[in-house]
Structure 1
Amino acid sequence: MDTTPLVELTPAAAALLARLRALHGPLMFHQSGGCCDGSAPMCFPAGEFRTGASDILLAELEVDGPGEPVTFWISRSQYEVWRHTRLIVDVVPGRGSGFSLEAPEGVRFLIRSRLVGT
């Protein structure tokens, strides 16, 4: 049985999430293949983005400091495309979507991926 995590955080992403969680409370990601910001993971206060039957909870990401894990959701159709990859959440300089919580920080979340067992 493969125990490779489906989603992981780089140290920079974990540090940013800890700061954002301190400011905004519990957080969630939604990974889509949408048009607004390409395939960037979007970070919201938990529950602000409505998930449904077309979404899959991939991970509950532990972040240092007090608070709940950050949930990571993906649309079912996107999961079918990426199901053989490990998604690595990273942070890079630059402005991302105005909808994601990191936008005012002058950085954006980015997905890197690594192929895992097929």
Structure 2
Amino acid sequence: MPDPLSRVAVSGEAAELLRRLTGLHGPLMFHQSGGCCDGSSPMCYPDGDFIVGPADVHLGALDVGLERPVPVWMSKAQFAYWEHTHLTIDVVKGRGAGFSLEAPHGVRFLIRSRLVTDEEYEAYAAEHAAD
């Protein structure tokens, strides 16, 4: 059962691609891009290749059936716009972003989003009230 406080999920197709990419590149991470060139693409990197810090929010970790979950990050500035959404990382055919690991495979990761329920938002707020 999914974590009720998770802000991110992954489709079955994206999880399968992440398992293959992990076999090729080792542990992975996502950073939700907000840049002009990549639109709003979830960018997949070898873990640690994209440096995160105090200006980033850890949205959660994706259980894709491997020993180690895939962490998902977003800048705090972008999170201010997206805090009322739940994100699902999916994959579709098409050219991906040049820096994301799926790009050479003829597919691209994308975000599907939905508004969170009032109950989910209250749970998120309570979890982070002590932060």
Q: CA deviation at 1:117?
A: 2.3
Q: What are the within-5 Å matches in structure 2 for residues 30-45 of structure 1? A: 30-45=31-46
CA RMSD of aligned residues (A): 1.4
Query: Is 1:74 aligned with 2:80?
Result: no
Q: CA deviation at 1:4?
A: 4.2
2:61–2:71 contact (8 Å) kept in structure 1:
yes
Give the structure 2 partner of residue 24 of structure 1.
Answer: 25
Between the aligned partners of 2:81 and 2:117, the Cα distance in structure 1 is 14
Give the structure 2 partner of residue 116 of structure 1.
Answer: 116
One-letter code of the match for 1:24?
Answer: H
Q: CA deviation at 1:63?
A: 1.2
**TM-score (normalizing by structure 2):** 0.84
Post-superposition CA distance 1:49-72 (Å, at most 9, x none): 01111101111111123x311010
For structure 2, the 5+ residue unaligned runs are: 119-131
User: SS in structure 2 opposite 1:86?
Assistant: strand
Between the aligned partners of 1:25 and 1:62, the Cα distance in structure 2 is 15
Between the aligned partners of 2:102 and 2:54, the Cα distance in structure 1 is 27
Between the aligned partners of 2:116 and 2:64, the Cα distance in structure 1 is 24
Number of corresponding residues:
116
Q: Extract structure 1 runs of 4+ deviating beyond 3 A.
A: none
Give the structure 2 partner of residue 103 of structure 1.
Answer: 103
Post-superposition CA distance 1:45-95 (Å, at most 9, x none): 000001111101111111123x31101000101111111111010101001
Q: CA deviation at 1:5?
A: 2.1
| Percent of aligned positions that are identical | 59
Between the aligned partners of 2:16 and 2:7, the Cα distance in structure 1 is 20
Between the aligned partners of 1:62 and 1:90, the Cα distance in structure 2 is 14
**TM-score (normalizing by structure 1):** 0.93
